[in-house]
Structure 1
Amino acid sequence: MLHGPSTEDARQRLVLALGRVADGERDALRTVYDLTSAKLFGVTLRILNDEAEAEDVLQDVFVTVWNRASGFDPARASPITWLCTLARNRAIDRLRALRHHRAGTDLEAADEVADEAPDALSQLEADGEARRLAGCLDGLEPRAAQAIRAAFFGGRTYEDLAQGAGVPLGTMKSVIRRGLIRLKGCLEE
């Protein structure tokens, strides 16, 4: 994560632009798009692994931003966190729909997609827990910490992580499960 005046300036520009979008200003939506579309496209593409689908989801995200900008609260989350959460959730929904369509059942597809409650990272930030979470993640075995970050904050599926690491899916699930148990214990201290 970048820190410094330029990052804070960009954050403030996004907060102001989202406020203007909530007031119905179309040029403000263009500002939000210009500042964030590349990152949000990366989030959707990483999850969907299909450019056309990622572009469709990105369009849906910006329609949602236009319709729900008034729901953004800078006191609860950074604007990029809010936008990335929207993009991630939309991409996962699309992935589930695609797998359901291809496989004929959404139960099988749901098992393969990493799940996260909406706005979990936003809630952590709002509660001042982000630094604590980062510290606990840093205390985990590096392989587990990396897998948890990639699955829960990067939108990667367990299957994708297992393939990338060259290990069986069950092994990756075990690594993540043990890491989550240790993470929970650290956060409860």
Structure 2
Amino acid sequence: MTPPPEDLASEDAKIPAPASPDALRDAILSVAAGDADSFAGLYDATSARVHGLVLRVLRDPAQAEEVTQEVYLEVFRRAAGFDPARGSALAWILTLAHRRAVDRVRSSQSQSDRDVAYESRANTQEPDPTGEAALATLEAQRVRTALEQLSERQAEAIRLAYLDGLTQTQVADRLGIPLGTAKTRLRDGLLALRRIVSAPRQRKEE
């Protein structure tokens, strides 16, 4: 049984805190403003806890690494929605991680159930796309369009990690670069994507 979100921060207390609550709060607020250095610092300060939590839920190192990447993609997308009055930055990030991990478990189980049902029916009819799938397709299209505005190196790393589903280690191997370099390209690319994707909304508000 996985821990409830409100217990996530205390459960991970055995991992030494690399940054104070105030520093993490300020980092997320800076990420919301588009500060790439703050995003890199936030990742370094919290990724061990996030990965540890996700791994405990999934019990699969490869999937845990993939979901950890997804968590930080969500963190950078939703940083503007973080409200310090509702809880600490670490609890907010761990809650996102917990939800992502549980969603992955449910998705895997759901896929397995669908496969069994499909085989038992021996039915070749294609299922109708759900609203969620349609939204996911739209989001992917927006990301692909935004990728064209990134540097070639950043775009290549982002495509491999978030469109092709490779882990950070696999991205580094595929590109023939050190793991640290791959992580840097992914972080910088994510921040650039956030600015590009949010720009149309900002212009409309103006």
Deviation at 1:51, TM superposition (A): 0.8
CA deviation vs aligned residue, 1:150-185 (integer Å, no higher than 9, x gap): xxxxxxxxxxxxxxxxxxxxxxxxxxxxxxxxxxxx
1:79 to 89, 111, 122: 89
| TM-score, length of structure 2 as denominator length | 0.46
Q: Which residue of 1 aligns with 2:31?
A: 21
The residue correspondences of 1:128-139 to structure 2 (distance < 5 A) are none
Deviation at 1:99, TM superposition (A): 1.1
Q: Which residue of 1 aligns with 2:56?
A: 46
2:101 to 86, 91, 97: 91
User: For 1:103 and 1:68, how far apart are their aligned partners in 2?
Assistant: 31
1:31 aligns to 2:35 (yes or no): no
Deviation at 1:103, TM superposition (A): 2.9
CA deviation vs aligned residue, 1:28-80 (integer Å, no higher than 9, x gap): 11111111000000111011110111111111110111111011111101111
| TM-score, length of structure 1 as denominator length | 0.50
User: For 1:67 and 1:15, how far apart are their aligned partners in 2?
Assistant: 16
Highest relative contact order (Cα 8 Å, sep 6+), 1 or 2?
A: 2
1:11 aligns to 2:26 (yes or no): no
Compute the RMSD of aligned alpha carbons.
2.1
Give the gaps of 5 or more residues in structure 1. 106-189
Q: Which residue of 2 aligns with 1:66?
A: 76
Q: Which runs of 4+ in 1 moved over 6 A?
A: none
User: For 2:34 and 2:75, how far apart are their aligned partners in 1?
Assistant: 11
Aligned AA (1:91): A
The residue correspondences of 1:138-149 to structure 2 (distance < 5 A) are none
Number of equivalenced pairs: 102
